[in-house]
Structure 1
Amino acid sequence: MQLTSTFRFLEDKARPSRSLSLCVRHLEVLIPMGVCPLARTPLLRDNFSGPLDPGARPEVLTCTSWGLPIIWDGTFDPDVAQQEAVQRNLTVGLTVFAVGRYLEKYLERFLETAEQHFMVGQRVVYYVFTERPAAVPRVPLGPGRRLRVERVARERRWQDVSMARMRALQAALGGRLGREARFVLCMDVDQHFSGAFGPEALAESVAQLHAWHYRWPRRLQPFERDARSAAALGPGEGDFYYHAAVFGGSVAALRRLTAHCARGLRRDRARGLEARWHDESHLNKFFWLHKPAKLLSPEFCWSPEIGRRAEIRRPRLLWAPKEYALLRS
């Protein structure tokens, strides 16, 4: 009860102090993650990873209440996932937005580490969205891997850059990106790959458990609660809090997701509203209404600022230090 009250305090504070926030981060490991309802079932099957073993990680939640997997290190065989993707002859798309100072600060390292760790051995097409195509670094690419640059408008505010992403993705998925790739993962640029990020991350629709919120009880998750917003979730609604830094799926599924989010953002803007976490709030509303087929554990997108966690065995993506005052000015 005391720990929950502390989290409520943090949720109500607009800007909790760094020391208080980190103190609570140390305490939140005491919050149970729940038990997989299929833990007694020897194996789940995944279309890309083959047999899954949720019992291999008894200390974490390895499947959802609707019976689909949460992918943790040790629950899948990466070699099986690799072979399955090769047999399907896939091309995987990876989209990233690098606008303003984010281009110089983060993009080159993002692409260089993607070449080392992202879908190694698969055909990949990178789609970089930027207002300055000529400034995109020319990173050496391996066989079967290409880079496309899509021009986007420079928005006045960083919030508008974030919210315009769904509209730009919707257009690209209906064009060349949708023709070139079978599955697409959409990521933020202010992070870098640190471990193998392979076909085990693919599914018809994929959501990422937010590293800062995966242990929080549902009533404390930062869903949009303003009932006037198209992104609003009511009391008792919401499954997990999903991070907009990583999401994906088939081209058809992503077109539905981006259309939903773009429509909700337009509706809010017409009403003079802005959801608390912008496009991420609308993404969470979509995944509440349309359950993702696969969830990625926080190992797939981890914030080093949280510190070491026993359950985070092998991070795949690491957040870069946030320098908002510099980058968003």
Structure 2
Amino acid sequence: MALEGLRARRTFWRTTVLSLGLLVLLLYWFPVRNLDLLIPMGVCPSATMVLLRDNFTGVLRLWNRPNVLTCTSWKAPIIWDGTFNPDVAQREARRQNLTIGLTVFAVGRYLEKYLSHFLESAEQYFMVGQRVVYYVFTEQPAAVPRVALGPGRQLRVEPVMRERRWQDVSMARMRTLHEALGGRLGREAHYVLCMDVDQHFSGLFGPEVLADSVAQLHAWHYRRPRWLLPFERDERSAAAIAFGEGDFYYHAAVFGGSVAALRRLTAHCARGLQLDRARGLEARWHDESHLNKFFWLHKPAKVLSPEFCWSRDIGRRAEIRHPRLFWAPKEYAEVRN
């Protein structure tokens, strides 16, 4: 009996060590970030697919992407490559005679590091053939690079105050955008997209993305279950989302909509940031946390798939067929100093 017990213990420990070794090899060859691939995305019900229409492309071809989630629980479309007709969207935008605004904040070293590439790639891919106004918010107006603009495209420089910390720059964005949307920006543009400067366009980014309110699925979190999403959990914060709440985690690098809808969004976020500051709080992901709270309370009319804002650091994913916007390498030590 004693001998059998000894053999059983040896077998147990050998199996345990072998299993741990295999787990280490698995994590080495299959990084933790790729464990997301084991999480199913879900699919849009067929009954919902046939009902969804887009404000610019008409009937959406959601059945072209059967292996990804193409709609939300509130029946808003999630736009993936192959689900829309870009030519129809272009014609509809021209028929409506739209002016589309694109805002970007280029403060401190972010201006010299990223702005030129951002604008040059936008001229190549962003709303091609449409009337566009770029609004560059910066404390260095004289340093904004001269970029050759196509017909019907303008660039406006909007001076802002320099903030002491990069977090304050991020959090002041909502207040600044709200004020601008109540002024010239709001008078000139019909739809506005707000983007981070540390990225560049890599594919056509057209009117198919436009809607009354537009949210961007975060490339690092779009496959993860709700309980793993990095919502603000401090219940004292105006950005707090309780466990069990929330739909998706949205990226503040891209959001947009009509002027009226964006005024409501930026007012909500600016007010929440101000309340938190008065309480001595700072949400985990700053203005992005408040953006996610807004979209939990007020569902976006259209959601963009991660193809519209992708990070090469994630690696290749079968569902990411045609990235439209790439994150630039994050060199925080250089640009946030």
State the TM bucket, normalised to the shorter chain. over 0.9
Aligned length: 311
Question: Which one of 170, 175, 197 corresponds to residue 162 of structure 1?
Answer: 170
Letter in 2 for 1:67: K
Contact 2:48 2:75 in 1 (8 A): no
Q: Specify the SS of the correspondent of 1:211.
A: coil
Secondary structure in 2 aligned to 1:138?
A: coil
Which amino acid is the alignment partner of residue 265 of structure 1?
Answer: L
Q: Which amino acid counterpart does residue 31 of structure 1 have in structure 2? A: I
Aligned to 1:90: 98
Percent of aligned pairs with the same amino acid: 81
Q: Cα deviation per residue 1:58-113 (whole Å; 9 max; x = unaligned)?
A: 11000001111000000000111111101000000000000000000000000000
Residue 52 of structure 1 corresponds to 60
Matches of 1:325 and 1:40, distance apart in 2: 46
Correspondent of 2:194 among 186, 192, 201: 186
* Letter aligned with residue 304 of structure 2: L
Partner Cα separation in structure 2 for residue 59 and residue 127 of structure 1: 37
Within a 5 Å distance, the mapping from 1:150-299 to structure 2 comes to 150-299=158-307
Structure 1 position 44, deviation (Å): 2.1
The DSSP-based 3-state class of the residue aligned with 1:288 is helix
Superposition deviation, residue 40 in structure 1:
6.4
Instruction: Give the deviation of 1:37 after TM superposition.
Output: 2.8
Partner-residue secondary structure (3-state), 1:128:
strand
The separation in 2 between residues aligned to 1:81 and 1:43, in whole angstroms, is 18
1:315 aligns with 2:323: yes
Alignment of 1:17-32 (within 5 A): 23-32=31-40
Moved more, 22-31 or 249-258: 22-31
Is the 1:187–1:247 Cα contact (8 Å) retained in structure 2?
yes
Q: Distance in 2 between matches of 1:39 and 1:311?
A: 23
Determine the C-alpha separation between the residues in 2 that align with 1:218 and 1:230.
19
Q: 1:116 aligns with which of 124, 137, 140?
A: 124
Equivalent residue, structure 1, for 2:50: 42
Q: Which residue of 1 aligns with 2:157?
A: 149
Give the CA deviation at 1:232: 0.2
CA deviations on 1:135-185 (whole Å, 9 max, x unpaired) are 000100000000000001111110000000000000100000000000000
Output the CA distance in 1 between the equivalents of 2:59 and 2:46.
14
Task: Write out per-residue CA displacement over residues 187-241 of structure 1, whole angstroms, 9 at most, x where no aligned residue.
Answer: 0000000000000000000000000000000011000000000000012110000
Which amino acid is the alignment partner of residue 132 of structure 1?
A: Q
Question: Is 1:28–1:215's contact at 8 Å kept on the other side of the alignment?
Answer: yes
Amino acid at match of 2:289: S
Structure 2: which 5+ runs fail to align? 1-26
Show the counterpart of 1:104: 112
AA in 1 matched with 2:160: V
Instruction: State the one-letter code of the partner of 1:120.
Output: V
State the alpha-carbon separation in 2 of the partners of residues 41 and 99 from structure 1: 43
Alpha-carbon distance in structure 1 between the residues aligned to 2:271 and 2:64: 41
Would the alpha carbon gap of residues 231 and 38 (structure 1) be closer, same or farther in structure 2, given more than 3 Å must change? farther
- The more displaced of 46-55 and 247-256 is 46-55
Distance 1:86 1:107 in 2: 28
Contact 1:43–1:54 (CA under 8 A) maintained in structure 2: no
- By how many angstroms is 1:266 displaced? 0.2
Cα deviation code 1:259-287 (max 9, x no counterpart)? 00000000000000000000000000000
Instruction: Summarize the Cα distance change of 1:40–1:208 in structure 2 as closer, same or farther, 3 Å threshold.
Output: closer
Residues 25-61 of structure 1, C-alpha deviation per residue, up to 9 Å, x if partnerless? 2221110011213466435210112110111101100
Structure 1, unmatched stretches of 5+, are: 1-18
The TM-score, its normalising length taken from structure 1, stands at: 0.93
Letter of the structure 1 residue corresponding to residue 236 of structure 2: R
